[in-house]
Structure 1
């Protein structure tokens, strides 16, 4: 869809929040979005999912010594 597409919509109240119904042709994928203000304009963008692998590569390794844990057999359970 070209970026020049537009449509007149109405604003309404949802509790204490101002809301807008997004017309079908402007629907965003997913369940979440990011909203920001640029001057008098509001920009709504879909929240891009970050693959877990990419997220993990952003983290630095922990400099932590973890205690040794005994590898004990599981305790029997009466059913």
Structure 2
């Protein structure tokens, strides 16, 4: 069964608004709203970018080879 909750609509300037109950909160501060007949559908925006992609990856289980950075120049802390 679909979760439902009675809410009240209110005015915020010239916009109609609603408060989203905690159990329906979205993670980000932006979303997409669309209309399907008399229904309003609010859905999160798919996160894009490197950080969002990296956040979906699981950690590596195997240790990294210590010799991988032998050919690299030392870090310069003066930057």
Q: Report the TM range for the smaller structure's normalisation.
A: 0.5 to 0.7
Shift of 1:49: 1.1
TM-score (norm 1): 0.60
Shift of 1:43: 0.1
- Which runs of at least 4 in structure 1 moved beyond 4 Å after TM superposition? none
Residues in 2 aligned to 1:13 and 1:21: alpha-carbon distance in whole angstroms: 11
Tell me the secondary structure at the aligned position of residue 42 of structure 2: strand
Tell me the secondary structure at the aligned position of residue 46 of structure 2: coil
Normalized per residue, the structure richer in helix is 2
Tell me the secondary structure at the aligned position of residue 23 of structure 2: helix
Structure 2: which 5+ runs fail to align?
A: 51-79
Cα RMSD of the aligned pairs, angstroms, is 1.2
Q: Indicate yes or no: 2:35 matched with 1:40.
A: no
Match of 1:19 among 17, 21, 24: 17
User: In the TM superposition, what whole-angstrom CA distance separates every residue of 1:20-77 from its partner, at most 9, and x where no partner exists?
Assistant: 000000000111000000000000001111225xxxxxxxxxxxxxxxxxxxxxxxxx
Moved more, 26-35 or 43-52: 43-52
Structure 1: which 5+ runs fail to align?
A: 53-79
